[in-house]
Chain A
Amino acid sequence: MSLLKPFSKLPELNTANILLVENEEQFQQILAETIVLLKKNVNVNVRLARSLPLPIENEKFRPRIDLVVFIINLTSELSYQSAEVSLKFLDPDYFLGKVCFLVTNARNASVPPERLISVRKLVASLHCPLLFAEDQMTDGVNTAAHRLLAILKVTSGHVPMATGLYLSSLTRCTVPSDIDQQNFD
Chain B
Amino acid sequence: MDQSMKRTLQRLIRRIPFQLLKTTLSKWAHILEEDLLLLDFTQPKCLFTENLLSLCEGKGTTVKHITELEMIYIIENPNQVMWRAFQLLDAREDAPSIELTQFKEQFKAHLTELNSHVSIKIKKHTDEAVWIRIAWGDNFTKPNHLKPTYAVHHLQTPYVFVTGLTVKHKPLLNQALVLTTRYGSIKDASLSGRNLVAIRDLLMRQYQQVFPTKHPKPLQEKNHVPTNPNIEKEQIENTENRLQMACEAFGDGTLPQLQKAVYQLETKFRDNSNRTLTGSDEPFRGVVEFTSTNLLESLRHAVSSGIASTPVTPLLSSITQKGRNYFVVTDKGV
Residues of A with Cβ closer than 8 Å to B? 19, 23-26, 32-33, 36-37, 43-51, 54-55, 58, 62, 76, 78
Do B239 and A25 touch (CB < 8 A)? yes
Do A48 and B232 touch (CB < 8 A)? yes
Do A24 and B307 touch (CB < 8 A)? yes
> From residue A166, how far is it (CB to closest CB) to chain B in Å?
27
Given A24-B305, A25-B305, A50-B306; A44-B233 close (CB under 8 Å): no
The yes or no answer to B3 lying at the interface (CB within 8 A) is no
A32–B230 CA distance with the chains assembled, in angstroms:
9
Q: 3 closest pairs, A vs B, by CB?
A: A49-B234, A36-B228, A48-B233
Instruction: Provide the residues of chain A in CB contact with B305, threshold 8 Å.
Output: 24-26
> From residue B236, how far is it (CB to closest CB) to chain A in Å?
9
Given A24-B305, A24-B306, A26-B305; A50-B232 close (CB under 8 Å): no
The yes or no answer to B235 lying at the interface (CB within 8 A) is yes
Instruction: Provide the residues of chain B in CB contact with A62, threshold 8 Å.
Output: 234
Do A36 and B231 touch (CB < 8 A)? yes
The 8 A CB mask of B262-306 against A (1 = contact, 0 = none) is 000000000000000000000000000000000000000000011
Secondary structure at the A interface, as helix, strand, loop or mixed, is mixed
Which bracket fits the contact residues of B? 10 to 19
A37–B227 CA distance with the chains assembled, in angstroms:
12
| 10 A-B residue pairings within 8 Å (CB atoms) | A24-B305, A25-B305, A33-B231, A43-B230, A45-B232, A47-B232, A49-B235, A50-B235, A50-B306, A62-B234
A58–B227 CA distance with the chains assembled, in angstroms:
18
Given A25-B239, A33-B228; A48-B306 close (CB under 8 Å): no
Q: How many A-B residue pairs have CB under 8 A?
A: 48
Do B306 and A54 touch (CB < 8 A)? no
A183–B309 CA distance with the chains assembled, in angstroms:
42
Instruction: Provide the residues of chain B in CB contact with A45, threshold 8 Å.
Output: 230-232
Instruction: Provide the residues of chain B in CB contact with A51, threshold 8 Å.
Output: 235
Instruction: Provide the residues of chain A in CB contact with B230, threshold 8 Å.
Output: 36, 43-46
A23–B242 CA distance with the chains assembled, in angstroms:
14
A8–B308 CA distance with the chains assembled, in angstroms:
35
Given A25-B239, A33-B228; A47-B234 close (CB under 8 Å): yes
Do A54 and B239 touch (CB < 8 A)? no
The yes or no answer to B238 lying at the interface (CB within 8 A) is yes
Those of B191-248 within 8 Å (CB) of chain A: 228, 230-235, 238-239
Residues of B with Cβ closer than 8 Å to A? 228, 230-235, 238-239, 305-307
Instruction: Provide the residues of chain A in CB contact with B307, threshold 8 Å.
Output: 24, 76, 78
Do A25 and B234 touch (CB < 8 A)? no
Instruction: Provide the residues of chain B in CB contact with A23, threshold 8 Å.
Output: 306
CB-nearest residue of chain A to B227: A33
Do B231 and A46 touch (CB < 8 A)? yes
CB-nearest residue of chain A to B239: A25
Given contacts A24-B305, A48-B234, 18 further A-B contacts (CB under 8 A): A23-B306, A24-B306, A24-B307, A25-B306, A26-B305, A32-B228, A32-B231, A36-B231, A43-B230, A45-B231, A46-B231, A47-B234, A49-B234, A49-B235, A50-B235, A50-B238, A54-B234, A78-B307
> From residue B301, how far is it (CB to closest CB) to chain A in Å?
11
> From residue A110, how far is it (CB to closest CB) to chain B in Å?
16
Instruction: Provide the residues of chain A in CB contact with B306, threshold 8 Å.
Output: 23-25, 50
Instruction: Provide the residues of chain B in CB contact with A76, threshold 8 Å.
Output: 307
A19–B228 CA distance with the chains assembled, in angstroms:
15
Do B235 and A55 touch (CB < 8 A)? yes
Query: B234's contact among A26, A33, A55, A78, by CB below 8 Å, is which?
Result: A55
CB-nearest residue of chain A to B232: A47
CB-nearest residue of chain A to B235: A50
Do A58 and B228 touch (CB < 8 A)? no
> From residue A151, how far is it (CB to closest CB) to chain B in Å?
18
Instruction: Provide the residues of chain A in CB contact with B232, threshold 8 Å.
Output: 45-48
Instruction: Provide the residues of chain B in CB contact with A78, threshold 8 Å.
Output: 307
Instruction: Provide the residues of chain B in CB contact with A43, threshold 8 Å.
Output: 230
> From residue B244, how far is it (CB to closest CB) to chain A in Å?
16
A48–B227 CA distance with the chains assembled, in angstroms:
13
CB-nearest residue of chain B to A29: B231
> From residue B231, how far is it (CB to closest CB) to chain A in Å?
5
> From residue B268, how far is it (CB to closest CB) to chain A in Å?
27
CB-nearest residue of chain B to A24: B305
> From residue A124, how far is it (CB to closest CB) to chain B in Å?
28
